[in-house]
Amino acid sequence: METATSNQSLITIMDDIKSSKSPAVINYGASWCGVCSQTFPAFQELSNSFKRIKFVYADIDECPETTLHIRYTPTFQFYRDGEKVDEMFGAGEERLHDRLWLLS
């Protein structure tokens, strides 16, 4: 799993995702978000189950300029062939698993 630690690192990660044929998921969260803290361990565990998918975590407070479009945490965005193909808001390990299965 990769972590975006700044606006520049998220830009670099997004460039990699958009130029790749590999599927990817980005988890946009925040350190102060209780739901994010609850879902993060499951996100990490799922990254071990779906090896072909690139997993990325981005804290909206560490990447404020590049996450202005995020209105709810957690937000999960799913990419295939460099294009966003799905988005999920809120918690739900089973929902997340199902979307990852469809993406893989």
> Residue 64 in contact with residue 11, Cβ under 8 Å?
no
Report which of 44, 85, 74, 25 is spatially closest to residue 14, judged by C-alpha positions. 25
Catalytic residue chosen out of the listed positions 13, 25, 36, 96: 36
Active site (annotated) includes residue 36: yes
63 an active-site residue?
A: no
Catalytic position from the list 13, 26, 30, 33:
33
Detail the DSSP E strand segments found in 1-104: 2-4, 24-29, 54-59, 75-80, 83-89
Residues tagged active-site: 33, 36
